[in-house]
Amino acid sequence: MSHSLQKSRQDHANGECRDPKSRVTVVGSGSWGSVAAKLIASNALKLPSFHDEVRMWVFEEVLPNGEKLTNVINKTNENAKYLPGITLGRNVVADPDLENAVKEANMLVFVTPHQFMDGICKQLKGKISGEVEAISLVKGMEVKKEGPCLISSLISKELGINCCVLMGANIANEIAMEKFSEATVGYGGSRDIAEKWVQLFSTPYFMVTPVHDVEGVELCGTLKNIVAIATGFVDGLDMGNNTKAAIMRIGLREMKALSKLLFPSVKDSTFFESCGVADVITTCLGGRNRRVAEAFARSGGKRSFDELEAEMLKGQKLQGVLTAREVYETLDHRGWLEMFPLFSTVHQICIGRLKPDDIVHYRDHKSLISIDGPIHLRKSISSMM
């Protein structure tokens, strides 16, 4: 072995080898995870600052024909279960071993349903070392005793790494077919890191804008799923477009008010980015949360969300019902339920305490909140955080 190769291996073993190229792993392989891998893989091949290979951690499943999903992806370059018919890119390598999938990467993209993120972080805790950057595409949050915890904070706290977010009006199947859409990268630290993520995701059909408001961007992506459930009820009750638009407007208002109460630094302008109003519109017109909530309302609330999710989504996960419960617990804990009548009504309909048509009666509990959130509360919240 030559002296220089020996030295390079030694440096690597000592952690001193600084690879000038970045290596990306996508943690998650559902519909959006697979589309994210496709976007990144096409750019990794073109950009000299990235290694070609993009690893994708796959939660292993056995398909009805007896084959493992990972093997099928690596053989056909398609995710037959979650994104059939779409080629991911020859440089996407599916890996069922989480620790192995992340071990060489210095850019981690987290994109699983939010209920699995706590377990994933626990498994990776202490195993990520060096200068690693993360981005979360996960919509949802963790509710702990001490209050809500955004997924980007969970990743940062558990793994000790910086975490940006990418949210937006992004229904996975449409982007998979390369139809034009926009997204927002939220960042809290260095703009350079945000620009690197923008570069990694941007394509002529996927336009990404960085915004210095990580909490605002993430809360938009999380809370809009509750609004989508509300508009699904409206559709299931055949209430029409005016009602649906009203619910979307009120929902957006509650999203903004709650985000600003929880994080006073959240910017108004964030709600006009793709992650804000545009995501509310697309999710309330076309997303899976709306679709399943419509079926729930059409059954008069008699079929459970669990049953409908299993029947209609075929392994995909519904996020809005869980987020509605988590937000309800937060509002209840802080004594804010009356200020967020739409959010609290959605949860109560989901658990059968109210009927689907109560979605338009919630106005009886007059909202006490002004468009910018009550000043006295904002002050007391900021002193609590």
Edge-to-edge order in the sheet of strand 181-186? 92-95, 50-57, 22-27, 107-110, 133-136, 162-167, 181-186, 206-211
Half-sphere exposure of 140 (CA within 13 A, CB side): 23
State which of residues 24, 30, 210, 239 lies at the interface with ligand NAD (CB under 6 A). Answer: 30
State which of residues 212, 267, 303, 317 lies at the interface with ligand NAD (CB under 6 A). Answer: 317
| Nearest distance, CB of residue 303 and ligand NAD, angstroms | 20
State which of residues 53, 74, 96, 116 lies at the interface with ligand NAD (CB under 6 A). Answer: 116
Q: Which is nearer to ligand NAD, 136 or 259 (CB)?
A: 136
Write out the binding residues for ligand NAD, residues 353-372 only, by CB under 6 A.
none
Q: Which is nearer to ligand NAD, 152 or 170 (CB)?
A: 170
Candidates 380, 358, 240, 259; CA nearest to 300 is 358
Q: How far apart are CA 237 and CA 23, in angstroms?
A: 49
Q: Quote the tokens at residue 363.
A: 């106005």
List all residues 6 or more positions away from 215 whose beta carbon is below 8 Å from its beta carbon.
Answer: 150, 186, 188, 259, 262, 263, 265, 266
Does the footprint of ligand NAD cover residue 305 (CB under 6 A)? no
State which of residues 23, 25, 26, 32 lies at the interface with ligand NAD (CB under 6 A). Answer: 32
Q: Which is nearer to ligand NAD, 140 or 210 (CB)?
A: 140
Q: Which is nearer to ligand NAD, 82 or 305 (CB)?
A: 82
Whether 175 and 35 have beta carbons less than 8 Å apart is answered as: yes
Q: Is 319 annotated as a binding residue?
A: yes
Does the footprint of ligand NAD cover residue 227 (CB under 6 A)? no
Write out the binding residues for ligand NAD, residues 146-175 only, by CB under 6 A.
170-172
| Nearest distance, CB of residue 313 and ligand NAD, angstroms | 7
Does the footprint of ligand NAD cover residue 137 (CB under 6 A)? yes
Q: Assign residue 304 a region (left: φ > 0; alpha: ψ between -120 and 50; beta: otherwise).
A: beta
Closest chain position to ligand NAD (CB): 30
Binding residue count for ligand NAD, defined by CB under 6 A = 24
Does the footprint of ligand NAD cover residue 113 (CB under 6 A)? yes
State which of residues 23, 114, 244, 256 lies at the interface with ligand NAD (CB under 6 A). Answer: 114
| Nearest distance, CB of residue 113 and ligand NAD, angstroms | 5
Q: How far apart are CA 321 and CA 247, in angstroms?
A: 17
| Nearest distance, CB of residue 271 and ligand NAD, angstroms | 18
User: Contacts from 32-36 at CB under 8 Å and sequence distance 24+?
Assistant: 32/111, 32/137, 32/170, 32/172, 33/82, 33/111, 33/112, 33/137, 34/79, 34/82, 34/83, 34/86, 34/88, 34/172, 34/176, 35/83, 35/86, 35/172, 35/175, 35/176, 36/109, 36/111, 36/137, 36/201
Catalytic residues: 224
Does the footprint of ligand NAD cover residue 319 (CB under 6 A)? yes
Candidates 263, 213, 214, 212; CA nearest to 382 is 263
Q: What is the DSSP string of 118-138?
A: HHHHHHHTTT--SS-EEEE--
Q: Which is nearer to ligand NAD, 8 or 123 (CB)?
A: 123
Q: Which is nearer to ligand NAD, 268 or 307 (CB)?
A: 307
State which of residues 44, 140, 154, 274 lies at the interface with ligand NAD (CB under 6 A). Answer: 140
Residues in touch with ligand NAD (CB under 6 A): 28-33, 59, 61, 82, 111-114, 116, 137-140, 170-172, 316-317, 319
Q: Which residues are annotated as a binding site?
A: 28-33, 59, 116, 139, 172, 288-289, 317, 319
Q: Which residues are annotated as a binding site for substrate?
A: 139, 288-289
